[in-house]
């Protein structure tokens, strides 16, 4: 055990001495989260919207002026008929359309209940969802204002229709994606490089001649990166909660446990790469091309897996980030518990055990 | 008769058809400085790797410090030190950190580590440099430091694979002073080298040609046998017959 701590201490010394790399490792997730985060918020502000006001009465005007006052929307003044709306959506000129039926005011006054149709461009599902929510809450505000001092409450029902992608499938939530990406990068690449460096420099021979157990070499190499990665998880979550206002709906403890599992999966992957390669450059290339690219492509973070051809869908199953992405999304967004994600957890666990076994076997062969 | 610490019997290593080390047989006594010579590609490193447990022999027997190289590699590892051709300390760690790390993985206690590192630094005159990065030291110092680190756990045998490559003659001389000191403490030195002046410093030397040991004796006896003035000449007589080289 004492030997193990001596080794781990040395690994920390390596990591902490290399200030530039350390800065990149901690800076990268922050920058990525901010870039993704603000790119997304900018898009949602000042979204173009058309209003087809077939009612042209006081009630509809009140809602329109509320929307005008909001910083989320820019009203395209041109009055369009439904056919024009369709083409405006197709050309991407507008993100949202609001249609007041001709009898809007009448319904509201006599039936105490009126409808507004809201159509959103859901090819960008996240944005569509958000815009729909903004409009709904603006309408709700108006409803509350109307109901002040009224005995029989008025109800305005926004009928939201998602164009192109009604189920909002593959809603790209970038926080789980960035988490998967950053952890992948830190764990796989950094671990691989750190072990291969020992081979390149020649210190690996010395370690193999020493009575230090090969398995412990592997584990000690991974420990500092486990810590770095956990710090990254914390910083990503803090940023997303406090800067981007994305809440964590599920259990934070569960999220950390799952992140730790994913980190360990990646560490073993990095270890495996390092055992099969002999130069830092090769290790880096394999980690970048062989791991980063599939992570971006097949995790479901950028491109919905459901829309891929079957062979690619099958390939996506061997990408650990895919499973982690599902897990994080489920916990953060849907707020589910372990019962809903045990299968994905089991897959990650299986991958880890397999990789660890393969690594150890190959490591021993080098000794012989 | 001195205690035998390295004993090999027809130790052989094959890589496919290529026989890197061919039926090597020799004994080394405790405290001896044993020089292991040979041209490039003669099989020195292969033989040494087998003795250190880095590579498994194809056939033959050997015991290191009384332990079998097939079955008791863990025991062997505790009793040997090793310094490779490549400089093998961590350049991005300080001198003290390197000492503590290598001492640590050999299981030295904190008290031992403290005592040993102080002793080592004083011996090398590096007390003031203890907190400097190893990468900033001149090569000669690095080599001396890595030798001292290789014997920090007081092994029975230390294997040195061309330890003085690229070092100036004065530093080489100082390096050999360290080797003599270690030998006086009873540590057996097994050293490969290309420098014939260094061969003269050894108690006994063996000369490998094409994977076989062609000569094994003290430098003085070898010169007599080959009727040569110098070790250079002995080596040349043996090595010119070699069929393979890098």
What CATH number has the domain bearing residue B34?
A: 3.40.50.300
Residue B24 or residue A110, greater confidence: B24
Bridging pattern class, strands A96-100 and A47-53: parallel
In a domain, B246, yes or no: no
Contact criterion met (CB < 8 Å) for A211 and B104: no
Contact B85, B45 (CB under 8 A): yes
**Cα–Cα distance measured from residue B178 to residue B200, given in angstroms and rounded to the nearest whole number:** 16
In a domain, B245, yes or no: no
- As for how many domains chain B has, the answer is 1
Residue percentage of chain A with pLDDT more than 90: 10
**Model confidence band, residue A169 (pLDDT cutoffs 50, 70, 90):** very low
Bridge partners, residue A120, by sequence: A96, A162
Work out the average pLDDT over A41-66. Answer: 74
In a domain, B70, yes or no: yes
**Model confidence band, residue A171 (pLDDT cutoffs 50, 70, 90):** very low
Contact A262, A320 (CB under 8 A): yes
Contact A142, A68 (CB under 8 A): no
**Cα–Cα distance measured from residue B74 to residue B53, given in angstroms and rounded to the nearest whole number:** 9
Domains detected in chain A: 2-39+171-367 (no CATH), 45-163 (3.40.1710.10)
Helix (H) or strand (E) holding B94: none
Contact criterion met (CB < 8 Å) for A202 and B88: yes
**Cα–Cα distance measured from residue B229 to residue B220, given in angstroms and rounded to the nearest whole number:** 10
Residue B109 or residue A110, greater confidence: B109
Taking contacts as CB-CB distances below 8 angstroms, the residues of chain A near B92 are 13-14, 17-18
The whole domain housing B69 covers 4-239
Rg (CA), chain B: 18
Q: Which residues of A touch B (CB under 8 A)?
A: 2-3, 5-7, 9-10, 13-14, 17-18, 201-203, 205-212, 367-368
Of A41-50, A145-154, A199-208, the least confident: A41-50
CA distances from B57 to A245, A357, B48 (A): 64, 26, 11
pLDDT value for B189: 95
pLDDT value for A35: 75
Q: How far is A357 from chain B (nearest CA, A)?
A: 21
**Cα–Cα distance measured from residue A229 to residue A313, given in angstroms and rounded to the nearest whole number:** 28
Nearest to A60 by CA among A107, A110, A128: A107
Contact criterion met (CB < 8 Å) for A13 and B93: yes
**Cα–Cα distance measured from residue A27 to residue A47, given in angstroms and rounded to the nearest whole number:** 31
Q: How far is A164 from chain B (nearest CA, A)?
A: 56
Contact criterion met (CB < 8 Å) for A209 and B82: yes
DSSP-assigned letter for residue A241: I
In a domain, B43, yes or no: yes
Work out the average pLDDT over B192-204. Answer: 88
């Amino acid at each position: 055990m004492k030997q193990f701590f001596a080794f781990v201490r040395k690994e920390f010394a390596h990591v902490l001495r290399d200030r530039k790399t350390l800065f990149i490792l901690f800076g990268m997730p922050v920058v990525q989260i901010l870039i993704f985060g603000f790119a997304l918020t900018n898009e949602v502000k000042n979204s173009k919207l058309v209003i087809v006001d077939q009612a042209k009465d006081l009630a509809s005007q009140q809602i329109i002026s509320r929307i005008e006052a909001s910083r989320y929307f820019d009203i395209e003044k041109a009055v369009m008929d439904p056919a024009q709306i369709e083409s405006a959506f197709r050309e991407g000129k507008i993100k949202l359309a609001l249609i007041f039926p001709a009898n809007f005011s009448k319904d509201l006054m006599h039936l105490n209940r009126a409808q507004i149709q809201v159509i959103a461009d859901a090819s960008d599902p996240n944005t569509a969802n958000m815009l729909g929510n903004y409009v709904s809450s603006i309408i709700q505000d108006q409803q509350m204002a109307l109901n002040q001092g009224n005995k029989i409450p008025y109800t305005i029902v926004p009928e939201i229709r998602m164009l192109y992608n009604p189920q909002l499938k593959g809603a790209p939530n970038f926080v789980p994606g960035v988490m998967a990406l950053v952890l992948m990068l830190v764990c796989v690449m950094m671990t691989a490089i750190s072990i291969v460096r020992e081979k390149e420099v020649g210190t690996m021979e010395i370690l193999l001649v020493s009575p230090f157990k090969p398995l412990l070499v592997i584990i000690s190499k991974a420990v500092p990166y486990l810590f770095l990665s956990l710090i990254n998880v914390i910083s990503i979550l803090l940023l997303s909660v406090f800067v981007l206002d994305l809440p964590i709906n599920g259990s934070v403890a569960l999220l950390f446990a799952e992140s730790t599992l994913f980190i360990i999966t990646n560490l073993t992957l990095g270890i495996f790469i390092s055992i099969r390669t002999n130069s830092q450059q090769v290790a880096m290339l394999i980690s970048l091309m062989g791991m980063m690219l599939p992570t971006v492509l097949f995790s479901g973070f950028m491109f919905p897996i459901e829309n891929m051809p079957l062979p690619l869908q099958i390939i996506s199953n061997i990408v650990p980030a895919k499973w982690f992405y599902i897990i994080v999304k489920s916990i953060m967004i849907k707020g589910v518990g372990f019962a809903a994600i045990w299968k994905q957890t089991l897959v990650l666990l299986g991958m880890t055990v397999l990789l660890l076994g393969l690594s150890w076997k190959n490591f021993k062969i080098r000794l012989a | 008769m001195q205690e035998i610490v390295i004993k090999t019997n027809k130790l052989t290593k094959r890589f496919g058809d290529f026989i890197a080390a061919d039926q090597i047989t020799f004994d080394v006594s405790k405290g001896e400085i044993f020089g292991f010579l040979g041209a490039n590609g003669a099989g020195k490193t292969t033989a040494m790797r087998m003795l250190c447990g880095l590579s498994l022999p194809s056939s033959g027997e050997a015991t290191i410090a009384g332990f079998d190289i097939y079955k008791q590699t863990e025991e062997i590892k505790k009793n040997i030190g090793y310094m490779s051709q490549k400089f093998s300390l961590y350049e991005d760690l300080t001198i003290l950190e390197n000492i503590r790390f290598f001492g640590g993985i050999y299981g030295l206690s904190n008290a031992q580590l403290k005592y040993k590192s102080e002793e080592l630094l004083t011996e090398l005159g590096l007390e003031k440099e203890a907190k400097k990065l190893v990468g900033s030291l001149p090569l000669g110092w690095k080599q001396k430091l890595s030798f001292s680190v290789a014997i920090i756990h007081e092994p029975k045998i230390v294997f040195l694979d061309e330890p003085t490559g690229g070092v100036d003659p004065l530093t080489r001389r100082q390096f050999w002073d360290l080797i003599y000191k270690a030998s006086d403490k009873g540590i057996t030195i097994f050293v490969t080298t290309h420098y014939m002046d260094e061969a003269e410093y050894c108690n006994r030397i063996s000369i490998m040609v094409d994977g076989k040991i062609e000569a094994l004796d003290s430098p003085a006896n070898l010169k007599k046998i080959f009727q040569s003035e110098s070790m250079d000449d002995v080596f040349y007589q043996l090595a010119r017959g070699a069929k393979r080289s890098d």
